[in-house]
Structure 1
Amino acid sequence: MFDLISQRLFADAPQETLYHYTTLSGLLGIVGAAELRCSDIRYMNDSTELRHTLDLLSDHVTRRILSGVDNPALLTTFLDWLTHRVVSGPMLFCASFRGNGNLLSQWRGYSVHGKGVSLGFDPAHILDCALRQGFEVGQCVYEPALQAKMINEIIDTLETLAGQTPSDVRAESENERWMALFQSIEGDLLRISAVLKHPAFEEEQEWRIVSPTISDPASAPVQFREGTSMLIPWYPFCLRNAAAELAIEHVFLGPTSNIDLSMNSLSLYLRNAGATPAQPITYCDIPYRKR
């Protein structure tokens, strides 16, 4: 039942060019290795990742308990379980794309002045790469009413499944069954969380590639990089299709004080790497000053 909820979120396919913002250093890594480094959802740039869905669930469950539900113990136990699983649960890796490859907020957030690019990929290419690697592609949901409806459906389904416990089951056994139920839906909850974003980020028009859930990092190609204040787990997403093509469709060069030289060297690099975009490179034309 929960898998049907998450499947609906990943049912729509992108039609527009998908842009990935990065630094020049990131560009060298992406093109050189022909892969994206997908970060665990808990370690992504937006500090509200995962926490936003947890807050929505917590608010909704609290309102239900206060209104008088048949089984408040179930919902209380569920909230307690969620709180503990936020940090220590299975891993889920994501990478972000935007429908708009030239947003000032993204140049500020994902690149350094004079060192930013957004790489545009054919959506069919990304979908093909995702399918071959067991990833899903989903558009982020920002509309509060749609998020509330989805959270309501999640709790309805949880109560329905938990209500199937036989009435003569002892309390200890019932709690154990609840824990087994929570664990069985954890992967779907993570996938749902990956595409529910705070409404403040709506202008980003974000799409995400989302990995399978990983319970044992030692059995998967999980790697680590240095972050600002901690190590960041990441998972490789190969950008080559079955024909071994990187297939970059378009590139925006971000704000820089050296437009001509930067455009020239970027073009030379992509050509030498065999990754010349299908369309000419475009300068962003945004008057963003380094401070």
Structure 2
Amino acid sequence: MDDHEIFERLVAIFMPQAALLREELNEKGQLLAHYTTAENALRILKGQQIWLRNVRFMNDFSEVQHGLGMLRRFFAPNEPDIGRADFISALNAIQPNLVEQVINKFNGIIGHIENQTYITCLSMHHQHENEIGRLSMWRGYGRGAAPVALVIRTHTMARFTDALGVFSTPVIYQDRNTFFEVMRTLPARVRANEEFLREVDINWLSHMLFQTLIAYSISQKHRGFAEEQEWRMLHILGHHNIGVLEQDVESVSGSPQNVLKLKLENPKEIPDIGISVPELLERIIVGPCEFPDGIAEGFVKVLEKLGVKDAADRVTISDTPLRT
């Protein structure tokens, strides 16, 4: 079993919901879409860079607090036990004090998670959305602006590593009771895979449990938002290796803020990763707006300048009617 197979099996044990979504993304050639304004999409393409923004400036900050709050409640020693003891017992049977060591390490970076988590949000894109996009997303980004979807290929998502400094995770939509139930099922999966887990290097096991806590703290949302089908590109500044990311200060909606910039070019460390615009971009969908034809024409010209040979074929105008 190679390292990738070990990793995928550990994900299936510790994060079964994420494992299913990762399988759908990696094995079925699923696409992702970044819904934004036409103005911002133009900035991304002309600058050939994606910005990761601090969640403190975004709605996602409350979601980080939501995830951390559920973790704190599950592990709280002064609250009624809702599965904590069995969770600790199952994992500590593999390695004594494993859970306590990982929780102590996790507690040490909570400040980074709350204050230094940077993300870019993507949405699962389905074949039936190729020509029209998703109505709820158009509504979210079409208030007073022309909305656009940048549809990207996902061959790079499984290869987001320390070399890039960017990692990916699906968002799980659930309430606290569902989360607690998922956590209560983990001991059974650990015991069912005990022989495998005892053979795994303890550093791998400790790292996976640690990453599980991080993922649950920054990738949970209320189930009412499930139609977003969100994936996140993320970086925790001060915790993750910065990789090829560059820090800069930009003004977003009038608020100067630190951003992390990922250049859309293949770094020399991973020359074949395929994050240049011609390799990464599947299509652009121009959403319902006042001047869709002119906007589409502008994007075609931008893509041509970036070396996209079939630029005109990659720009689509959604026929979803504009409501004013």
What is the TM-score of this pair, normalised by structure 1?
Answer: 0.67
Counting only pairs closer than 5 Å after superposition, residues 187-198 of structure 1 correspond to structure 2 as 189-198=213-222
Aligned to 2:30: 16
Counterparts of 2:216 and 2:68, CA distance in 1: 11
Task: Evaluate the alpha carbon distance shift between residue 91 and residue 195 of structure 1 in structure 2; reply closer, same or farther with a 3 A threshold.
Answer: same
Q: 1:255·1:284 contact (CA, 8 Å) conserved in 2? A: yes
Q: Take 1:88 and 1:282, find their aligned partners in 2: how far apart are those partners?
A: 38
Match of 1:175?
none
Q: Is the 8 A contact 1:224 1:231 kept in 2?
A: yes
Shift of 1:32: 1.9
Could you say if the C-alpha distance between residues 259 and 24 of structure 1 is closer, same or farther in structure 2, counting changes exceeding 3 Å? closer
* Aligned pair partner of 1:265 in 279, 290, 298: 298
8 Å CA contact retained: 1:116, 1:253? yes
* Shift in Å, 1:124: 0.5
Q: Deviations over 1:42-62 (max 9, x none)?
A: 333445320221332355456
The worse-fitting range, judged by mean Cα deviation, of 108-117 and 243-252 is 108-117
Matched, 1:283 2:317: yes
Q: Gaps (5+ residues) in structure 1? A: 156-184
Q: Distance in 2 between matches of 1:58 and 1:244?
A: 37
State the partner residue of 2:235: 211
Q: Distance in 1 between matches of 2:240 and 2:229?
A: 32
Paired residues of 1:12 and 1:139 also in contact (CA < 8 A): no
**One-letter code of the match for 2:300?**
S
In structure 1, the partner of 2:63 is 49
- Once the two structures are superposed, what CA deviation does each residue of 1:108-131 show, in whole Å capped at 9, x if it has no partner? 323554522111111104444657
5+ unaligned residues in a row in structure 2: which ranges?
1-9, 86-99, 188-208, 267-271
Q: Distance in 2 between matches of 1:192 and 1:67?
A: 19
Distance 1:48 1:103, change over 3 A: farther
Change (3 A) 1:18 1:62: same
User: What is the alpha-carbon distance in structure 2 between the residues aligned to residue 38 and residue 111 of structure 1?
Assistant: 21
8 Å CA contact 1:50, 1:193 repeated in 2: yes
**Match runs of 1:67-146 below 5 Å:** 85=110, 91-100=116-125, 102-128=133-159, 132-144=163-175
Contact 2:169 2:215 in 1 (8 A): no
Distance 1:282 1:131, change over 3 A: farther
Question: RMSD of the TM alignment (CA)?
Answer: 4.3
Structure 1 distance, partners of 2:144, 2:232, is 25
Alpha-carbon distance in structure 2 between the residues aligned to 1:113 and 1:240? 32
Q: How far 1:33 moved relative to its partner?
A: 2.5
1:92 partner letter: T
- Name 2:5's counterpart in structure 1: none
Task: Supply the distance in 2 between the matched residues of 1:285 and 1:227 (Cα, whole angstroms).
Answer: 30
Name the counterpart of 2:41. Answer: 27
CA distance in 1 between partners of 2:233 and 2:113 (Å) = 22
1:133 Cα deviation after fit: 0.7
Q: Distance in 2 between matches of 1:259 and 1:228?
A: 23
Kept after mapping to 1: 8 A contact 2:52/2:260? yes
Q: What letter matches 1:53 in structure 2?
A: G
Shift of 1:152: 5.0
Shift of 1:37: 0.4
**In structure 1, distance between residues paired with 2:302 and 2:276:** 16
User: 1:39 deviation in Å?
Assistant: 1.5
Which residue in the other structure is 2:247 paired with? 222
TM-score, reference length from structure 2: 0.62
d(CA) in 2 for partners of 1:8, 1:87: 25
Counterpart contact for 2:173–2:223, Cα < 8 Å: yes
SS at match of 1:268: helix
In 1, distance between residues paired with 2:67 and 2:320?
34
Superposed counterparts of 1:155-234, under 5 Å: 189-215=213-239, 221-228=246-253, 230-234=255-259
Q: What is the CA–CA distance in structure 2 between the aligned matches of 1:88 and 1:212, rounded to whole Å? A: 6
The one-letter code sitting in structure 1 at the alignment partner of 2:285 is F
What's 1:182 paired with? none
Identity of aligned residues (%): 20
Matched, 1:255 2:288: yes
Bigger shift: residues 228-237 or 135-144: 228-237
2:323 and 2:234 mapped to 1: Cα distance?
34
Which of the residues 235, 238, 246 maps onto 2:263? 238
Q: Distance in 2 between matches of 1:150 and 1:45?
A: 25
Q: Distance in 1 between matches of 2:113 and 2:256?
A: 15
